[in-house]
Structure 1
Amino acid sequence: MMPRAEVLKDIITDLRIATTFVAIFPVRSSKSAADGAIARATWALPVAGLLVGLAGAAAYAIASKLGLTSGPAALLALATTTLITGALHEDGLADAADGLGGGRTRERKLDIMRDSRIGSYGACALVLSFGLRWSALAAIANPWLVTLALASAHAGARAGVPAFMSLVPPARLDGLSASAGAPPGRSVAIAFGIGTLCLAIALGPGKALASLVLLSLAGLILARLAIRQIGGQTGDILGAFEQTGEILILLVAAASLHAGG
């Protein structure tokens, strides 16, 4: 049995690694991708996501205190989360949309995903992503409920990433997804547990279940598309999965609110 100090050290290291894949903060780690550290650290992705969501919620609360209405406040919240993450997941969504939507061969689709330029599919995907998330937050309006929605969305959306990485093989032999490797079952289970707990606390059991069902369906559809078109997942596909999760959870939060839930 490992000493408590060693266990705590490993937890902190995993949190640092997860943070580097969620935020632009210069967090260093003594472990490298080669020894499977990234795959093992994926359990901490929803924890890092929770911090991003809370930062966006803080921006919303400050904007509300300053007298801004829900529309501008929601836009500032999204700007904050996008800035903190360096638009990493938005970039993945755009590249994935361009790649899956364009190109006739597997090789061409992968080349498009690696191209830094944005195409029409990517632009449309970004407009839809920001538009749906903004409208959901603006509809929720109440700063405390926005905090719960953002925290659960950013944690829950990342909770499924380890499972997606584990179940869907990498499309390339190189690249971040391939070098990270498949997360072990323990990391997948912990991430899922943390995400489920965040959803249940923030949205309630019923809405948490609805979110999980929608996330699972979206993951299955995206996995099928990725496997059929490019042979598996890439970092861009993972970014698209995260963005889809955020959108779905925020929409569930907004819809349940107006349904009296």
Structure 2
Amino acid sequence: MHAFIHSPIIRDIFICISLLTRLPVQLDERAYEHRSAAGWAFPLVGVVVGTASALIGILCMILGFGPNISAGCVVMTSLIITGAMHADGLADCADGFWGGWTIERRLAIMKDSHIGAYGVIALILIIGLQWQIIAALMQAEIAFIALISAAVLSRAPLPLIMVRIPNARGAGLSHQTAMSDQNAAYGALVLAAIVALIMMGIPGAWVIGCAAGLAVAATALARWKIGGHTGDTLGATQMLGETFTLLAALQFLA
């Protein structure tokens, strides 16, 4: 039985959770008619994913596994909750951007379900880097706030990218679920900034700036390589943004 939620706020949160995670959220089909204005809740999905991952890390530390194994469990938890969809997007972008010579060829490679050498290398580097950064954050005892902040800030720009940057295919999941409400997209940025500043304090402003810079750079690269965004580029932007934000947190908060 699919629930129809009358509260717009709860409805929007559940829509975003269903789009960005593999958590078993069941909604009436009528709820998805409002998805264009639900983008403001993207950062709240980050709160859910970041908190769950951080709590697993804390539990592992309490059980005496140490920062390295605990950090690995954090990364694994995040990948399980999201169904590794962002990691998949990163791998597809790495294969397509550097495996094709034309926009058409790059898009074709990105759509291929097989993974190539560039994709494998990208995943090893990014996941390995996240693992090491999180271990260092745990040693510095700031992993909880850093993980939540990074999960929030890395998802906040995605609705605005969908609003302002054309879809490179004109089809696909990101086209079907596109967030077209500009106010909601800017609301996501404001909400993310508020959450991050509450979590990290004034030094968090530097982390927010780094997250914003990465999102701009990743989007510019996507426009250069394929002329717009796709679901894969959104996933890659999230993965890169989260990694870079964690690194910035280690630099400015530790």
Q: TM-score, normalised by structure 1?
A: 0.90
Q: Which residue of 1 aligns with 2:154?
A: 157
Cα distance, 1:25 vs. partner? 1.5
Q: Secondary structure at the match of 1:205?
A: coil
Q: Which runs of 5+ in 1 are unaligned?
A: 1-5
Coordinate RMSD, CA, aligned:
2.0
Q: Which runs of 5+ in 2 are unaligned?
A: none
Q: Which residue of 2 aligns with 1:89?
A: 86
Residue from 103, 112, 126 that aligns with 1:129: 126
Q: Which residue of 2 aligns with 1:244?
A: 240
Aligned mates of 2:6, 2:145 — CA distance in 1: 28
Indicate if the aligned counterparts of 2:38 and 2:179 stay in contact, CA closer than 8 A: no
Indicate if the aligned counterparts of 1:61 and 1:143 stay in contact, CA closer than 8 A: no
Cα 1:215–1:105, aligned 2, differ >3 Å: closer, same or farther?
same
Q: Which residue of 2 aligns with 1:3?
A: none
Q: Secondary structure at the match of 1:21?
A: helix
- Please give the per-residue CA displacement for 1:130-166, whole angstroms capped at 9, x wherever unaligned: 1221111111225962111111111111111111111
Indicate if the aligned counterparts of 2:54 and 2:143 stay in contact, CA closer than 8 A: yes
Identity of aligned residues (%): 35
AA aligned to 1:120 is: A
Which aligned pairs between 1:1-261 and structure 2 lie closer than 5 A? 9-31=7-29, 35=33, 37-142=34-139, 145-206=142-203, 208-258=204-254
Cα 1:7–1:68, aligned 2, differ >3 Å: closer, same or farther?
closer
- Please give the per-residue CA displacement for 1:108-127, whole angstroms capped at 9, x wherever unaligned: 11111111111111111111
AA aligned to 1:101 is: W
Cα 1:83–1:181, aligned 2, differ >3 Å: closer, same or farther?
closer
Q: Secondary structure at the match of 2:20?
A: coil
Aligned mates of 1:44, 1:226 — CA distance in 2: 24
Aligned mates of 2:216, 2:188 — CA distance in 1: 18
- Please give the per-residue CA displacement for 1:40-72, whole angstroms capped at 9, x wherever unaligned: 111111101111111111111111111111000
Aligned mates of 2:173, 2:224 — CA distance in 1: 20
Cα 1:77–1:7, aligned 2, differ >3 Å: closer, same or farther?
closer
Aligned mates of 1:201, 1:144 — CA distance in 2: 17
Cα 1:232–1:257, aligned 2, differ >3 Å: closer, same or farther?
same
AA aligned to 1:243 is: M
Indicate if the aligned counterparts of 1:17 and 1:28 stay in contact, CA closer than 8 A: no
Indicate if the aligned counterparts of 1:140 and 1:257 stay in contact, CA closer than 8 A: no
Cα 1:7–1:38, aligned 2, differ >3 Å: closer, same or farther?
closer
TM superposition outliers: structure 1 runs of 4+ over 4 Å: 31-34
Paired positions, count: 251
Aligned mates of 1:61, 1:218 — CA distance in 2: 28
